Chain A
Amino acid sequence: MVARCSRDSWGEAAGVAAQAQTIRDRAVVLAHTDGKVWEDALAALGNAQAKDASDARRDFALEQKLERAAAAPLEIAELGADVAALAALAGERGEGTYRADASAAAALAAGAARAAAHLVQVNLGVRPGDERLARARASQHAADDAAARLLGPTR
């Protein structure tokens, strides 16, 4: 919205608006995917707990589902960082009238990145030191830094 309203004064506004639209479309798909893979993982966990005996095939299937359940929030964390970066750019270079809207968008995106990184962390398939966790945290920090450019430090 900030970019769309800044087209008269900012040459890159249309390109930034196009990127925002693309990221929004991706986020909608990812949100659905995240819900679905999480439900699948929960069902698989319940199934594994209901049966005592170890079953290699079932354990492998459970592991795969947990992997997928961690992959979706990791992508959401990266999207959050992208949204925060776009919002920071729009806030700094777009019409000053809309800077507060850009700041709000950056703060929300940083919150989403933090929440998603937390979901990666608590996934049972992700161990401390896992590269996915490091990437999710890096996205969270990138989103925080982008939001801080408009709002001031948040951590």
Chain B
Amino acid sequence: MSRLSILPDAELVERCRAGESDAWNELVERYSRYVYAIAVRGFRLSEEDAEDVFQDVFTRAFMRLETLRDASALRPWLAQLTRRRCLDAISGGGREQAVDDVLADEGSADMEELEEAFAVREAVAGLSEACQDILDRFFAQDQSYRTISDELDIPAGTIASRIARCLRKLRNELEANN
């Protein structure tokens, strides 16, 4: 985990504004999947169009970062830029799918799920490294308690409790963020 990856958005934005290229790389890394997911899952763009949107959104973000009033509102700002660019892509591309339909879809379960997933991701980033690690191993890598126990050298009988405690912290973090 890099030093920048634990920075809150507001501080990351300030560093980008100060011209730190590493901070910009971190910003793109942090939100690349988010922007891409809105384009593909929210607006059903093809991979090629989503790639164009992706490039354009981050170019615009780079050029207009100074105009972002509340630096902590980076995610909704990027989401808005992405949505506008997706609509441009659809209306300018002669698609059969009407923009109105897309606007209706925008409030769909996919988009809600996407927002929820990123809210969880942000909350996970606020946990200790130990909690992030054990949650990632169990929920993302599908590791058994025994494998986690072997790899982290902690008693197998304590794994479930540790995960449960980390989940409780995650819930607190989510509630605090909301």
- A11 touching B144, Cβ below 8 Å: no
Contact A82 B145, CB 8 Å, known A16-B160, A19-B163: yes
From B146, B159, B160, A139 is in contact (CB under 8 Å) with: B146
Chain A minimum-CB-distance residue to B157: A85
Residues of B within 8 Å of A59, CB to CB, are none
Complex Cα distance, B147 from A75, in Å, reads 11
The verdict on B61 contacting chain A, using a C-beta distance below 8 Å, is: no
**A85–B145 CB distance below 8 A:** yes
- B161 in complex: contacting residue of A12, A78, A142, CB < 8 Å: A12
Q: Is A86 positioned at the interface, with any CB of B under 8 Å from its CB?
A: yes
Query: In the bound complex, do residue B142 and residue A85 qualify as a contact, i.e. CB atoms below 8 Å apart?
Result: no
The CA-CA distance from A70 to B149 in the complex, in Å, is 23
A139 to B143, CA, bound (A): 14
Mask, B155-169, CB within 8 Å of A = 1, is 011011101111110
Q: Is B160 a contact of A26 with CB atoms below 8 Å?
A: no
Instruction: Give the distance to chain A from B167, nearest Cβ to Cβ, in Å.
Output: 4
Measured in the bound complex, the distance between the Cα atoms of B164 and A75 in whole Å is 22
Chain B residues touching A, majority SS: helix
Question: Which residues from B are CB-within-8-Å of A11?
Answer: 168
CB distance A82 to B168 under 8 Å?
no
The complex places the Cα of A5 from the Cα of B144 at a distance, in Å, of: 25
Q: Which of B93-117 contact A (CB under 8 A)?
A: none
A-contacting residues, B14-53, CB 8 Å: none
Having A16-B164, A82-B145, A135-B146, one finds 15 other A-B pairs with CB under 8 Å, namely A12-B165, A14-B167, A14-B168, A15-B163, A15-B164, A15-B168, A19-B164, A79-B144, A81-B144, A82-B160, A85-B160, A86-B160, A89-B161, A138-B146, A139-B144
| Residue contacts A-B, CB under 8 angstroms, 10 given | A12-B164, A13-B164, A15-B163, A15-B165, A19-B160, A79-B144, A81-B145, A82-B145, A85-B157, A85-B159
B residues at A contact (CB < 8 Å): 138-139, 142, 144-147, 156-157, 159-161, 163-168, 171
Which chain A residues have a beta carbon within 8 Å of chain B's beta carbons? 11-16, 18-19, 22, 26, 75, 78-79, 81-82, 85-86, 89, 135, 138-139, 142
